[in-house]
């Protein structure tokens, strides 16, 4: 045996790798699932050409005026047919000729109908000879970095870093405790710090595969941008993973059954899945709970990752997020070391 193979830290870390690689489900959830999710969301939220709204009008003259706008498809119909078409949703707006002008019939609560009303009004006013008071030029945005997939990839990355760290720590520590393996290990001369260190070492090595695989896929298939510095992005991933590993250690520090552990893990992760802005911006939640939302480690992680990837923000501009992640890391780790149950 070589010197390295005789080292207990090496052996413990290798055990972590072997046990992970021999668990096909874990490989699926950590490496394959996030990519599948990104593909699904990328397809569902792909950028489509601007919608064309279906509208109706009671006179051919109005129909022509409406059809002049590329955003509208107009048909002529009498008022009774038009009302029926409106009720069944086959048109969004019915324009009726009145003695002194036109009247719009539409559902105010339907955003598409409101948009159709504005476009139709513009078309009719233009046809009637209205001129713009201010000259306007339109610049349409189709560049990468502003699409939904660009927004969601850093969110999924953060979510994945959280899941793999908490599940990776939680399940195997609690399983070892339940099967009395922890007790057997402390009965041997194994240095206890090495047991925890082996988890961190294997987590950080796996992190490389996980992050490079996922981001590489997002880059190649969706052309997601990387505007910030790559090494800073790497550092953010490491910090995020360490913070969640510490949280996973805390979750696993007392539980003696797998049921208790998985309940605790869900309790910890569920609020973050919802609140931390994985799929939509966390700023959508009411102002009252914003301080709490922003203090969550996943919110901080995702804000920092999005800042780096989409806006090219550097670490110096992310001290708040980094501070939150460091605080979670240190506090969770300190508490777990105090309350960790070896048997």
Partner 1 sequence: MLGNGLPTQGNSPTLLLRGLRKSFADVVAVDGLDLEVMRGECFGLLGPNGAGKTTTIEICEGLTAPDSGTVELLGLHWARAENELRQRIGIQLQETQFPEKLTVDETLRLFRSFFRRGIPVDESIRTAQLEEKRHARVGTLSGGQKQRLAMACALVGDPELLFLDEPTTGLDPQARRHLWDLVDGLKQAGRTIILTTHYMDEAERLCDRVAIMDHGRIIALGSPQQLIASVGGEHIVEFAIVGHETGDGLVDPALLKAIAGVESHRVDAGVHQLSVRELHTAVPRIFATLTGQGLHLSEFRTHSATLEDVFVGLTGRNLRDE
* Residue ranges in contact with partner 1 by CB under 8 A: 1, 5-8, 10-12, 14-15, 18-19, 22-23, 176, 179-181, 183-184, 186-190, 343
- Residue closer to partner 1, measured from CB, 6 or 98: 6
Give the H or E element holding residue 39.
helix 33-44
Beta-carbon neighbour count of residue 214 at 10 Å?
Answer: 22
CB–CB of 76/97 below 8 Å? no
Question: What single string gives the DSSP state of each residue in 206-260?
Answer: HHHHHHHHHHHHHHHHH-----S-HHHHHHHHHHHHHHHHHHHHHHTTT--SHHH
For residues 151-171, one letter each, b for 16 or more C-beta atoms within 10 angstroms of the residue's C-beta and e for the rest, the string is: bbbbbbbbbbbbbbbbbbbbb
- Residue closer to partner 1, measured from CB, 186 or 267: 186
Q: Which residue has the tokens 């052309």?
A: 223
- Residue closer to partner 1, measured from CB, 22 or 48: 22
- Give me the least distance between CB of 156 and partner 1, in Å please: 29
* CA-closest candidate to residue 233, choices 245, 220, 246, 224: 224
- Residue closer to partner 1, measured from CB, 128 or 181: 181
- Give me the least distance between CB of 244 and partner 1, in Å please: 23
Tell me how many degrees the CA angle 70-73-75 measures, rounded to the nearest 5.
145
- Give me the least distance between CB of 255 and partner 1, in Å please: 17
- Residue closer to partner 1, measured from CB, 84 or 179: 179
- Residue closer to partner 1, measured from CB, 27 or 235: 27
CB–CB of 314/229 below 8 Å? yes
- Give me the least distance between CB of 248 and partner 1, in Å please: 19
- Give me the least distance between CB of 9 and partner 1, in Å please: 9
């Amino acid at each position: 045996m070589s010197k390295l193979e005789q080292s207990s830290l090496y052996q413990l870390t290798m055990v972590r790798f072997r046990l992970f690689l021999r668990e096909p489900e874990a490989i699926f959830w950590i490496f394959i699932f996030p990519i599948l999710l990104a593909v699904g969301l990328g397809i569902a939220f792909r950028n489509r050409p601007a919608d064309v709204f279906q509208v109706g009008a009671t006179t051919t003259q109005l129909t022509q005026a409406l059809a002049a706008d590329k955003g509208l498809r107009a048909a002529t119909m009498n008022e009774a047919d038009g009302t029926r078409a409106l009720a069944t949703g086959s048109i969004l707006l019915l324009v009726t000729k009145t003695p002194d002008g036109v009247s719009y019939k539409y559902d105010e609560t339907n955003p598409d109908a409101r948009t159709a009303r504005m476009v139709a009004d513009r078309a009719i006013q233009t046809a009637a000879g209205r001129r713009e008071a201010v000259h306007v030029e339109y610049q349409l945005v189709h560049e990468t970095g502003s699409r939904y997939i660009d927004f969601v990839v850093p969110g999924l990355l953060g979510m994945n870093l959280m899941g793999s760290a908490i599940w990776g720590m939680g399940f195997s520590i609690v399983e070892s405790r339940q099967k009395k393996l922890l007790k057997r290990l402390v009965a041997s001369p194994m240095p206890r710090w090495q047991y925890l260190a082996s988890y961190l070492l294997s987590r950080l090595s796996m992190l490389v595969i996980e992050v490079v695989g996922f981001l590489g896929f997002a880059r190649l298939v969706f052309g997601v941008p990387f505007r910030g510095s790559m090494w800073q992005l790497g550092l953010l991933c490491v910090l995020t993973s360490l913070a969640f590993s510490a949280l996973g250690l805390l979750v696993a520090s007392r539980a003696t059954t797998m049921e208790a552990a998985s309940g605790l893990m869900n309790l910890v992760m569920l609020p973050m899945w919802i609140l931390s802005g994985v799929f939509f911006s966390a700023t959508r939640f009411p102002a009252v709970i914003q301080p709490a939302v922003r203090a969550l480690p996943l919110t901080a992680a995702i804000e920092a990752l999005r800042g780096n990837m989409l806006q090219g923000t550097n670490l110096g501009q992310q001290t708040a997020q980094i501070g939150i992640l460091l605080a979670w890391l240190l506090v969770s780790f300190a508490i777990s070391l105090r309350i960790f149950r070896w048997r």
